[in-house]
Amino acid sequence: MEAGLLERAYGNYKFANINRKKETTVYYIKQQDGTGTGRMETCDIFPGVQISFNSLSMDTCFQQIRAGRGFWEIDYCSEGCYEMGYNDQKVAFLKEKMLSVTDLGSQVFTYSRIPFREYHGISILLELEKVQPILHGEFAGSGICFSELAEIMRLDRGPYLMRPLHKIEVIFKELENRRNCRGGDDIRYFWLKTVELLLYLSKPDQERMKSVHSFDANTGQGIREVYQYILEHPFEHITIPELADMFRLAESSMKRCFKYSTGKSIGSFQKERRMEAAAELLLKKREWSVGEIAEAAGYENQSKFSAAFKSVYRETPLAFRRCR
């Protein structure tokens, strides 16, 4: 069977399985170590245009591929976060309610990962040589020109990430609401919404639609190590300056990049992880008193531990244990 648009764009990407139906094709992804899976449900909405509804529950879906030239991918993150390394020295994060535009053929991605193992979003894949003539014919005067957009967004330097206008967020919400509709009118609707999106991107509001900062590779690697360290040492009360010194990061860059990639401050993440580990102890060590759990979690004062626990779980440690 002829390869679909996604397969031609992604080159030699190895999907775990492909389920082709009359109106949709579902691509299944499996993490190489078998610990995570993903699903991309695609639908062709016009010649050279495909929409994909993506759900990934894994650490990474990265494979080193030879992407096809002349393909753009527009990604909108509805939930989670997607981290990507590109051009050897840059790291960027596609977070919730953010948009990215990527010229697949001009980028060399060095890695990607999903910090919280959950990513949900919508992708629109465009084959430029097929779509541009249609836009010039069917929507003459729209001003949509991919070559001009590529220069404005500097797509040769990497993905263009932005915080979109509310109108663009509405477009993706409307697409999500119709994800299970595949009739002729629905397909036409998807196409018109794609054109509407391209119109907004072609005439950006410079005050409200701004490109998003990326980080250097060393900072990105350091943040991954900080994140993993906190996960593995939940009861260690290490300070932010100590973390910065341990991983040789500038404190300000570390705090900014961590917040940007996870959506949480380092302090908040430490507290949540500490309480998660304490909750596990409450259930596994039922013979331990709450005071002993508090001491194990590094709290000298049981009342302070209970207050911290309640701020995360909205109930006291004792009530948490009794209800489970």
SS3 letters across the chain: CCCCHHHHHCCCCCCCEEEECCCCEEEEEECCCCCCEEEEEEEEEECCEEEEEEEEECCCCCCCCCCCCCEEEEEEEEEEEEEEEECCCEEEEEECCEEEEEEHHHCCEEEEECCCCCEEEEEEEEEHHHHHHHHHHHCCCCCCCHHHHHHHHCHHHCCEEECCCHHHHHHHHHHHHCCCCCCHHHHHHHHHHHHHHHHHHHCCCCCCCCECCCEEHHHHHHHHHHHHHHHHCCCCCCCHHHHHHHCCCCHHHHHHHHHHHHCCCHHHHHHHHHHHHHHHHHHHCCCCCHHHHHHHCCCCCHHHHHHHHHHHHCCCHHHHHHCC
Q: Answer whether 201's CB lies under 8 Å from 189's CB.
A: no
What was the pLDDT predicted at 246? 94
What was the pLDDT predicted at 23? 83
What was the pLDDT predicted at 207? 42
Q: Answer whether 174's CB lies under 8 Å from 51's CB.
A: no
Which domains, and CATH codes, for the chain? 5-202 (2.60.120.10), 216-322 (1.10.10.60)
What was the pLDDT predicted at 33? 85
How long, in residues, is the chain? 324
Per-residue pLDDT of the chain (324 residues; tens, 9 = 90+): 467 899 999 988 999 999 998 889 999 999 988 889 999 999 999 999 999 999 999 999 999 888 889 999 999 999 988 988 877 667 888 888 899 999 998 877 888 889 878 999 999 999 999 999 999 888 888 889 999 999 888 888 888 888 877 888 999 999 999 888 767 788 899 999 999 999 988 876 544 445 556 677 788 788 888 988 998 999 999 999 999 999 999 999 899 888 877 778 999 999 999 999 999 999 999 999 999 999 999 998 899 999 999 999 999 999 999 887
What was the pLDDT predicted at 261? 76
